[in-house]
């Protein structure tokens, strides 16, 4: 049997905000922006969840349910920094680590029982290590595959540990609602419920051919997960697919100059993250949403770079050409993808941009220490 851990950082964005500002402890905190805006809840504390709040809820709905909550825009650069430190801690103990997202990690401890002893006790040790060094709470699920481990990590939040013994996977899953299975969203849940399928045991009780006939390949995968199966091997070559930022406006905007200013700031933030990871990008993309919700996306390949000026000019070129309607804009976003590690050897062969590269890295250091707004690169 494989031994897979899934570690999930509890209310991660809120936990980081509380480290930055301890006065937020034990209060209903919501990360996601202006409560009078059009955004959604990115994360909320357990105190806020008592009022019915949850991630992806419209921010205005959250404010209606919890008007006395503390609403924050958040500090994404700090979230990335803490996430990287957590990964650095885990790789000291786990032979294989896969970072699944900014706040969750899979670890393969197969064959490590003789080294670490009780898996439950070792999971507790990992929790305490992260808490001691970073004051971040976490929950851990242990199972024979990634699906079981992930579902288990949600069972005892916050600061919980759930170990699903080998052979007990189906019994563990049976009483849970179908939406517990990763990937089952509102639409699929509704369709399953309309067929009289409400619990995971209902899926497991039917033949796999039924689900493959109704949902194709995904149906077969759904049936396998309901029967306790899942991927047993980690993707150790995990690489972030993209970095993006977007802004939904309190009032729709018609001014191109205003849109350009907002795009400039969004681009600066993603470039900050790009350089913190020592990466370069060769793909820039934008998103534009009009007030009638029609959404346009555009992308362009470029030579690998981490320079704000190049990335912003590319993004603005894309956005400017995408604005073809005489109608107000509700949202814009910018993103980058197709990463490669920055080659420091460039300095030996290309000296015309050395000063600018060094300047950008100096700005990164200042922002990492004092916050993004401590310094601003001139408008380009």
Residue whose structure tokens are 């006395």: 68
How many angstroms separate the CA atoms of 283 and 240, rounded? 13
How many angstroms separate the CA atoms of 343 and 359, rounded? 17
Strands 70-72, 29-31: pairing is parallel
How many angstroms separate the CA atoms of 136 and 71, rounded? 20
Contact criterion met (CB below 8 Å) for 112 and 95: yes
| Six-digit token string for 12 | 């991660």
Which of the residues are catalytic?
A: 104
**Residue 290 belongs to what H/E stretch?**
strand 279-290
**Residue 305 belongs to what H/E stretch?**
strand 295-305
179-217 burial: b if 16+ Cβ within 10 Å, else e: bbbeebeeebbeebeeeebebbbbbbeeebeebbeebee
- Please give the C-alpha separations between residue 80 and each of 58, 203, 226, in angstroms, as whole numbers: 24, 38, 33
- Phi first, then psi: what are they for 152, rounded to 5°? -65, -35
């Amino acid at each position: 049997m494989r031994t897979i851990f899934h570690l999930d950082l509890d209310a991660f964005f809120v936990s980081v905000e509380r480290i930055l500002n301890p006065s937020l402890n034990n209060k209903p905190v919501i990360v996601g922006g202006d409560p009078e805006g059009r955004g959604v809840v990115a994360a909320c504390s357990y105190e806020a969840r008592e009022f019915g709040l949850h991630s992806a809820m419209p921010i205005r709905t959250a404010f209606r349910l919890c008007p006395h909550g503390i609403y924050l825009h958040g500090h994404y650069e700090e979230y990335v920094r803490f996430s990287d430190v957590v990964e650095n801690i885990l790789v000291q103990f786990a032979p294989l680590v896969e970072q699944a997202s900014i706040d969750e990690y899979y670890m393969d401890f197969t064959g490590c029982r003789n080294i670490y002893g009780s898996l439950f006790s070792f999971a507790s040790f990992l929790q305490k290590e992260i808490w001691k060094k970073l004051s971040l709470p976490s929950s851990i699920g242990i199972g024979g595959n990634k699906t079981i481990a992930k579902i288990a990590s949600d069972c005892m939040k916050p600061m919980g540990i759930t170990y699903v013994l080998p052979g007990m996977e189906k019994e563990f899953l049976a009483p849970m609602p179908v939406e517990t299975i990763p990937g089952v969203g509102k639409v699929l849940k509704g369709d399953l419920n309309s067929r009289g399928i409400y619990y995971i045991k209902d899926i497991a009780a039917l033949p796999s051919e039924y689900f493959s006939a109704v949902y194709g390949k995904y149906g077969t995968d759904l049936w396998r997960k309901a029967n306790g199966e899942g991927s047993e091997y980690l993707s150790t070559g995990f690489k972030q697919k993209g970095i993006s930022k977007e802004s939904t406006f309190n009032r729709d905007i018609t001014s191109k100059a205003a849109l350009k200013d907002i795009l400039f700031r969004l681009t600066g933030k993603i470039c900050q993250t790009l350089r913190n990871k020592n990466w370069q990008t060769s793909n820039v993309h934008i998103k534009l949403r009009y007030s009638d919700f029609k959404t346009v996306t555009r992308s362009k390949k470029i030579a690998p770079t981490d320079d704000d000026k190049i990335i912003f000019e590319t993004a603005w070129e894309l956005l400017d050409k995408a604005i073809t309607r005489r109608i107000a804009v509700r949202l814009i976003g910018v993103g980058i993808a197709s990463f490669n590690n920055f080659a420091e050897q460039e300095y030996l062969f290309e000296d015309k941009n050395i000063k600018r590269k060094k300047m950008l890295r100096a700005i990164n250091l200042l922002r990492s220490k004092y916050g993004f707004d401590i310094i601003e690169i001139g408008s380009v």
